[in-house]
Amino acid sequence: MKGRSAHPLTRERIARAHRVLDIERAALGALRDRLDEAFSRTLDHLLACRGKVIVTGIGKSGIVCRKMAATLASTGTPAFFLHAGEGSHGDVGTFVRGDLLLAVSNSGESQEVLALLPAARRLGLPLIAICGNPTSSLAQAADVVLDVSVPEEACPLGLAP
């Protein structure tokens, strides 16, 4: 369509897409600037793990966790996704000494995720928290916290990550 003016709806859609990409770019830049020793400690825990990495979350975070676990497993790290809702209904029996729990929660207050922590602690599992609230209950319980807070969601309703 070079040389022709775009339809107003097309221009509006492209402008929105630019806005979303600008918001995402700003969030990635902020995350980059926050990388610190917690990131390195997370890698130390992952490398030291002699069992499996259990990746857990619920809702949108759970969907992200499923992908994280699949990527870890594909690259040679024994890992699986545990839906936090299922975990709090008996699936914590999959936890064994030597495992690592990687919990993802935007708020850090998801009750289903928090319900898994006592079982993990009883077995001495290291807890890595990836959350958007570094002062949350999940963050306070964690051995390492990765702050993934964003200043603004790209979704106009502020709902979709």
Q: Strand 79-83: give its sheet, edge to edge.
A: 79-83, 53-57, 100-105, 127-131, 144-147
**Considering only CA atoms, which of 88, 41, 67, 46 is closest in space to residue 161?**
67
Domain regions of the chain by residue span = 1-34, 37-147
Span 114-126, mean pLDDT? 97
CB 128 within 8 A of CB 113: no
Please, what CATH class does the domain formed by 37-147 belong to?
A: alpha beta
Model pLDDT for residues 26-72, shown as the tens digit of each residue = 999 999 999 999 999 999 999 999 999 999 999 999 999 999 999 99
Long-range contacts of 17-25 (CB under 8 A, 24+ apart): 19/154, 20/154, 23/152, 23/153, 23/154, 24/154
pLDDT at residue 89 greater than cutoff 90: no
Q: How many residues does the chain have?
A: 161
Confidence (pTM):
0.88
Q: What is the pLDDT of residue 91?
A: 84
